[in-house]
Structure 1
Amino acid sequence: MRFPRSRFRVAALLAAGAALLGTAVLQSPADARTPGDDAAAQAMAPQATIWEDNFDGPSGQGPDQSKWRFDIGGGGWGNNERQYYTNSTRNAALDGGGNLVITARRESGGFQCHYGTCEYTSARLLTAQTFTQTYGRFEARIKIPGTQGVWPAFWMLGGGNWPTDGEIDIMENIGREPNTVHGTLHGPGYSGEGGIGASYQSPNGQPFRNDFHTYAVDWAPDSITWYVDGVQFQRRTPADLGGRQWVYNHPFFMIMNVAVGGYWPGYPDGSTVMPQSMVVDYVRVSTLGSSGGGGGQITGLAGKCLDVAGANAADGTTVQLYDCNGSNAQKWTRPGDGTIRALGKCLDVANAGVADGTRVQIATCNGNAAQQWTYSGARDLVNPRANKCLDVTGNNAANATPTQIWTCGGGANQKWTV
């Protein structure tokens, strides 16, 4: 039996000249599923690495600033935490052996926390300003710390409007539960104690802190599946939300941190040993094979296909509606990185426009937001940056009618079967 717990988290997303605020509140022990409960939940083979950090470099060097930035401060982070997060190499540095070490220390460093002079320092690293991604396998090989009052985590946020933008907790552990890790979703109407998640128990009875383990999620448009060392322990789909909104079809960023104290883990006591370190071997994001396949038709208005005009692979070629004919100009893949591809190019909003009527084309894949698409349960293909739908111009079902982006209105000319 598991008992309700309270956890509150605030994510301050800091970058030079800019700040983004996100808040996360605590989960309850939601219903867990065993791997056998859902035969559809099979491991999806990762296809290609999109982003990774192997933490190669000399001992004492800070993390790569082109990949990781820092949250800094000691305001309690919404959880009444006791640490001050710094950007010091005393709290986050490479060990010279291919690992990043995030260390929580019993020290003030002269910092002021919400309760007075800080008693602890630690670090919280995030990719909000350097890398965001929609869908894929997100994984890290980590040796977690473990002592009363310490709370390591590897997780993701979908933006600064919490819980509306969503939160995916890939791995959390609290010191008083050495043999247990948790994975949880937070979204509108199921945040805080209503978070939907499950725990995973060490299969050999050994505390997770004793060794490295790989913690991962496979995130697809309509499912998120959790693994520890390749063993699936939970899968969630929109059906698990009881009619509440699935908010996992837009880019998220990653966070790694070690908190000290807080409502959920409790606080250091006489048994607590400091310092405590989380050692990270690698963090990797890959595409998923199940999101792509060999390419297939995308059908829309009047049953016609999304088509690259003239089967022309040149940048800027219009994407149109046309009778389905099985040609390569109508074979679209979704490799799991948020893009939709044909003829080796990406479905692209021309000039990264956001206005109604902006033309849709193919262009060389470049990773920008004009090439990100999400597919909703309502069969809309949405460009999240513009917050507009892929639209058949003029609701015209004639062959060669061009596509555009337009404010989502629910019309048949914005409905697609992928």
Structure 2
Amino acid sequence: MKKQTFSGLLSLLLLATAVTSCTKENQAGQTPKLSASDKAVGAAAAAKSYDLVWSDEFDGTSLNTSKWGYENGNLGVNNEKQFYQTQNVAVTGGNLVITARKETVQGQPYTSGRINSNGKFSTQYGRIEARIKLPGVQGLWPAFWMLGNSINTGAGWPGCGEIDIMEQVNTSNTILGTIHWWNTAYTYYSGNTTTTATDFHVYAIEWDASSIHWYVDNTEYHIANIQNNINGTEEFHAPFFILLNVAVGGNLPGNNINDGALPASMLVDYVRVYNITQNPGGGGAPIGTTISIRGNNGSFVSGENGQQAMNCNRPTAQGWEQFTIVDAGGGKVALQSMGKYVSSENGTQAITCSRTTIQDWEKFDWIDNGDGTFSLRGNNGAYVSSENGAQAMTCNRTTAQGWEKFTY
């Protein structure tokens, strides 16, 4: 669901990468209600495990406003014809129901609904999925998509980044999966597949520090490479929030609208977000996964958003306490948090998480200690120390003792 017109688009083909996966601490503490599709995920990807961290099953009688907010009005994008309003969004029969109607409000000839999780929930990486039944009506444009949180802090669109998990228009059975971003100019990269759009299907992405993969009913059909910010894709290494809407008319479906088929609705059975754990085996580095690192003092390591030296003093793991393990080549790893890399600072000062690229000081050996812990050794030959959480972390220890051992 674009924020502006499709005219003058620049299409850039990204190189596909092998599947990697990611995880972080399960902060929701929920047990997922397993459906057939959930079980299929586990069967298809035995090397990965999925931890549910956020969901809405739409089992109530009204929208859960602790999870979603309404977007109302004429948003003035894409030459769309609808006026969004709260009354076009309902929760009934175990589904979220977003309905497009032929009625004029404030000069717009149609009404519809749009909701988002902005300010209530966002995620960086993971599996984001929804089970959706589409209306399949000429002139309608339903979408399940994401925008970068930075749209709230001045980045604008497309600088914030956009991930379209599912878009479909008119009566077509073509499903679109697309990313939009800024790379010296507006850029997008899109793939598609076909399905019976008016039946329920599970639409999903699996997103990590290397790539974004698109699925329909757990069949992959599209991959975008975002590793090391290739082609200016740094937007996709930051938190995004979720949106659901049905647009009427506009640049993608056109303005030939079948009024006789309205009202028409998109039904959403559930939306679920999982952290993905690559089961490492053998104590090796969990390349491609997002983890939270705990020192032997029981506290979590924080990248401090790159604003100050790192510490190991957090009682819980939030965004700053999540690190993606990146293959740095030569058997070494780099640790990325909030789009920036951890630096050993060559052991001459406290370590930081402020580097935009991987150089020698940002490379570490991941060492399995054989006791369920691991240590990180910088290219200066010294070990990273938690300093027991009493001061900023360092990379200057000659041996790995208690403060130099970590779990995740």
| TM-score calculated relative to the size of structure 2 | 0.70
Equivalent residue number for residue 201 of structure 1: 194
> What is the Cα deviation at residue 411 of structure 1?
5.7
Q: Classify 1:120/1:266 alpha carbon distance in 2 versus 1 (closer, same or farther; 3 Å).
A: same
Contact kept, 8 Å, 2:118 with 2:241, in 1: the verdict is yes
SS in 1 for 2:243: strand
Question: Are residue 189 (structure 1) and residue 183 (structure 2) matched?
Answer: yes
Q: Classify 1:196/1:410 alpha carbon distance in 2 versus 1 (closer, same or farther; 3 Å).
A: closer
Equivalent position amino acid for 1:346 in 2: F
C-alpha distance after superposition, 1:276-316 (max 9, x if no partner) = 111110000011132x6358577xxxxxxxxxxxxxxxxxx
Task: Choose which of 56, 62, 82 in structure 2 pairs with 1:53.
Answer: 56
Supply the distance in 1 between the matched residues of 2:229 and 2:321 (Cα, whole angstroms): 29
Contact kept, 8 Å, 1:249 with 1:375, in 2: the verdict is no
Question: Are residue 157 (structure 1) and residue 150 (structure 2) matched?
Answer: no
Unmatched 5+ stretches in structure 2: 21-43, 367-408
Task: Choose which of 101, 124, 129 in structure 2 pairs with 1:139.
Answer: 129
Equivalent position amino acid for 2:122 in 1: T
Aligned Cα root-mean-square deviation (Å): 3.7
> What is the Cα deviation at residue 403 of structure 1?
3.0
Equivalent position amino acid for 1:94 in 2: V
Question: Are residue 169 (structure 1) and residue 169 (structure 2) matched?
Answer: no
> What is the Cα deviation at residue 28 of structure 1?
7.6
Supply the distance in 2 between the matched residues of 1:365 and 1:247 (Cα, whole angstroms): 26
C-alpha distance after superposition, 1:38-75 (max 9, x if no partner) = 875874744210100001113xx2x1111011222214
Equivalent residue number for residue 82 of structure 1: 81
> What is the Cα deviation at residue 191 of structure 1?
7.4
Q: Classify 1:51/1:417 alpha carbon distance in 2 versus 1 (closer, same or farther; 3 Å).
A: farther
Q: Classify 1:406/1:236 alpha carbon distance in 2 versus 1 (closer, same or farther; 3 Å).
A: closer
Equivalent residue number for residue 378 of structure 2: none
Task: Choose which of 86, 91, 98 in structure 1 pairs with 2:88.
Answer: 91
SS in 2 for 1:187: strand
> What is the Cα deviation at residue 404 of structure 1?
3.8
SS in 2 for 1:245: helix
Equivalent position amino acid for 1:50 in 2: V
Count residues in correspondence: 332
Contact kept, 8 Å, 1:104 with 1:276, in 2: the verdict is yes
Supply the distance in 2 between the matched residues of 1:271 and 1:150 (Cα, whole angstroms): 10
Q: Classify 1:407/1:45 alpha carbon distance in 2 versus 1 (closer, same or farther; 3 Å).
A: closer
| TM-score calculated relative to the size of structure 1 | 0.68
C-alpha distance after superposition, 1:226-274 (max 9, x if no partner) = 1101111112224799744353211111111100010111124356511
SS in 2 for 1:119: strand
Map 1:296-315 to 2 at 5 A.
none
Supply the distance in 2 between the matched residues of 1:237 and 1:196 (Cα, whole angstroms): 10
Task: Choose which of 94, 102, 113 in structure 1 pairs with 2:98.
Answer: 102
Contact kept, 8 Å, 2:182 with 2:232, in 1: the verdict is yes
Higher strand share: 2
Supply the distance in 2 between the matched residues of 1:295 and 1:361 (Cα, whole angstroms): 26
Q: Classify 1:412/1:119 alpha carbon distance in 2 versus 1 (closer, same or farther; 3 Å).
A: same
C-alpha distance after superposition, 1:192-229 (max 9, x if no partner) = 6x521211112xxxx311x1100001111101111101
Supply the distance in 2 between the matched residues of 1:345 and 1:47 (Cα, whole angstroms): 24
Q: Classify 1:262/1:128 alpha carbon distance in 2 versus 1 (closer, same or farther; 3 Å).
A: same
Supply the distance in 2 between the matched residues of 1:25 and 1:54 (Cα, whole angstroms): 37
Q: Classify 1:102/1:167 alpha carbon distance in 2 versus 1 (closer, same or farther; 3 Å).
A: same
SS in 1 for 2:135: coil
Contact kept, 8 Å, 1:374 with 1:382, in 2: the verdict is yes
Contact kept, 8 Å, 1:105 with 1:274, in 2: the verdict is yes
Q: Classify 1:127/1:237 alpha carbon distance in 2 versus 1 (closer, same or farther; 3 Å).
A: same
Question: Are residue 346 (structure 1) and residue 300 (structure 2) matched?
Answer: yes
Supply the distance in 1 between the matched residues of 2:340 and 2:11 (Cα, whole angstroms): 36
Q: Percent identity?
A: 35
Equivalent residue number for residue 202 of structure 2: 214
> What is the Cα deviation at residue 339 of structure 1?
3.6
Equivalent position amino acid for 1:363 in 2: R
Contact kept, 8 Å, 1:103 with 1:122, in 2: the verdict is yes
Supply the distance in 2 between the matched residues of 1:212 and 1:238 (Cα, whole angstroms): 30
Equivalent position amino acid for 2:360 in 1: A
Supply the distance in 2 between the matched residues of 1:240 and 1:359 (Cα, whole angstroms): 22
